[in-house]
Amino acid sequence: MINTGDILETIKMIESQNLDVRTITLSLSLFDCIDSSPNEVTKKVYSKIMRFAENLVPVGNRLSDELGIPIVNKRISVTPISLIGAASGNFLGLAETLQNVANKTGVDFIGGYSALVHKGMTKADERFIETIPEALSSTNNVCSSVNVASTKSGINMDAVAKMGDIIKKTAELTSTRDAIGCAKLVVFANAVEDNPFMAGAFTGPGEGEATINVGVSGPGVVAAVLKKMKGASVTEIAEEIKRTAFKITRAGQLVGTKAAELLNAEFGIVDLSLAPTPAVGDSVAEILELIGLSEVGGHGTTAALALLNDAVKKGGVMASSMVGGLSGAFIPVSEDSGMISAAKSGTLSLAKLEAMTAVCSVGLDMIAIPGKTPAETISAIIADECAIGVVNNKTTAVRLIPVPGKDVGDEVSFGGLLGSAPIMPVSEANASMFIKRGGIIPAPLHSLKN
């Protein structure tokens, strides 16, 4: 059993070290809302979500006050809308419904405007994916994701090619807002069903009726510990990060179990992901530099990140039997003050970020690129990330933002947790012939484990 006394030491970290519960995410199954009538499916979806989520924000605020732990975001994720809306075809109506739910409940984001096309696309999937740009440009809180690859099935290059076009269209439709629609769209390989973090959160088909998944974040806590370890070996650093991750995870499980009880839901998982914010002192890049790098992006960065990611997971697993989601270290460029600085100086490149994603929690995340970048180049970047995920049997993702009218040397600002970013250079080598071939890149040999 967990009680408040178990985490008294952790509570001391909150004020000065930016410890927080980044999100409590209410995960809801909508399969019982499927209807061939466009009007009926939206009514059922709205009613179902509101029945469970009406008190999500008040409960989050109450727990934050009672426990003294900041709960930054309250979010909802739902069954992929490509599945729920297939019978009616009313995908955009469902996007509007999700936004209405967000407006009514006051949640920060609602995820699940999603599709799972890692092995193939149905006609309904194709129609759904075509609606993503309009859905994201006409809503403020709705997030979208598309899973285009998996270790078991390989890489669906037809879907990869389509997503390059979708990202470009989304950027164009939100061009007056620095292409912010693309900040709400992520393309996955090996997407997980219980991820509480946006923009990739959705409720997988294997999930229950109503579940609370918690995302805990503590880069500042880890950094504070490392500042006291000058001269320590990397072995000692790894051990200390494990102990710190253990404490942070216990705090997350306490919040999750209490929230689930109050919301008449099951407790799902704690996702211990060191998710940074633009605030100084809340940076994954700073942790890597405290390990010994002069600046993130230099040689040694991938090894330091591998140490951090592994230690975080080991500490979290020992603290809770229900660790899941993505769990590790996020490296979103626009959301991390240290990453932003390294990108501006030129030390951190797109190529180095790709290498880092082989050992981090997700992938190429919140990276602003020139608006003139061709759709085929974006698709090729997605394919590269998918290859890393498929071959290494891990989740990888791409959240690129091609900002219309902006080029290398310019900057964009999204505000809030999304932060700001310099426009990073992209290789101008032509990938169109490769992308236009289409088809499936077969699953690797080690996927045959049956």
CB atoms within 10 A of CB 436: 11
Asked whether the domain spanning 215-438 has the same topology as the one spanning 25-189, the reply is yes
Report the pLDDT value the prediction gives residue 10, as an integer from 0 to 100. 54
Rounded Cα distance, 194 and 207, in Å: 8
d(CA 450, CA 440): 21
C-alpha distances (whole Å) from 67 to each of 78, 206, 346 are 28, 32, 42
- Residue of 21, 101, 94, 93 lying closest to 54 (CA atoms): 101
Q: Which residues contact 408 (CB under 8 A, 6 or more apart)?
A: 370, 423, 424, 425
Q: Please give the distance of CA 248 from its chain centroid, rounded to a whole number.
A: 19
The pLDDT value given to residue 16: 45
Determine the Cα–Cα distance for residues 136 and 98; give it in Å rounded to an integer. Answer: 11
Do residues 329 and 309 make contact, with C-beta atoms less than 8 angstroms apart?
Answer: yes
pLDDT at 9: 54
| Domain segments of the chain as ranges | 25-189, 215-438
Sign (positive/negative) of CA torsion 88, 94, 96, 101? positive
Dist CA 65 CA 202 (whole Å) = 28
Q: Using alpha carbons, list the distances in angstroms from residue 305 to 231, 293, 432, 448.
A: 19, 11, 32, 29
pLDDT score recorded for residue 69: 79
Integer-rounded Cα radius of gyration of the chain: 21
Query: What's the pLDDT score for residue 317?
Result: 79
For residue 6, the model assigns a pLDDT of 46
Class (C level, CATH) for 25-189: alpha beta
Rounded to whole angstroms, the Cα distance separating 207 from 230 reads: 44
Backbone phi, psi, residue 440, to 5°: -120, 130
- State the Cα–Cα distance between residues 39 and 48, nearest whole angstrom: 14
- pLDDT tens track of the chain, all 450 residues? 444 544 455 555 554 455 677 888 999 999 999 999 999 999 999 999 999 999 999 999 998 888 777 888 899 999 999 999 999 999 999 999 999 999 999 999 999 999 999 999 999 999 999 999 999 999 999 999 999 999 999 999 999 999 999 999 999 999 999 999 999 999 999 999 998 888 889 999 999 999 999 888 777 778 888 888 888 899 998 988 888 888 778 778 888 889 998 999 999 988 877 777 666 567 888 889 999 888 989 999 999 999 988 888 888 777 777 877 787 778 888 888 888 888 888 899 989 999 998 888 788 889 999 999 999 999 999 999 999 999 999 999 999 999 999 999 898 888 777 778 899 999 999 999 999 999 999 988 877 777
Per-residue DSSP letter, 55: T
Cα dist. 350→256, 298, 331, 410 in Å? 36, 13, 12, 16
Q: Residue 250: how many CA atoms within 13 Å on its side-chain side?
A: 20
CA distance 92 to 82: 11
Question: 360 near 296, Cβ under 8 Å?
Answer: no
Exposed/middle/buried for residue 152 (C-beta within 10 Å: 0-12, 13-18, 19+): middle
Helical H segments across 327-367, by residue range:
337-345, 350-356
**DSSP state letters, 206-253:** TS-SEEEEEEEE-HHHHHHHHTT-TT--HHHHHHHHHHHHHHHHHHHH
Question: pTM for this structure?
Answer: 0.91
Instruction: Name the DSSP letter for residue 71.
Output: E
Class of domain 215-438: alpha beta
- Rounded distance between C-alpha atoms, residue 90 and residue 112, angstroms: 15
Determine contact, residues 73/85, Cβ cutoff 8 Å. Answer: no
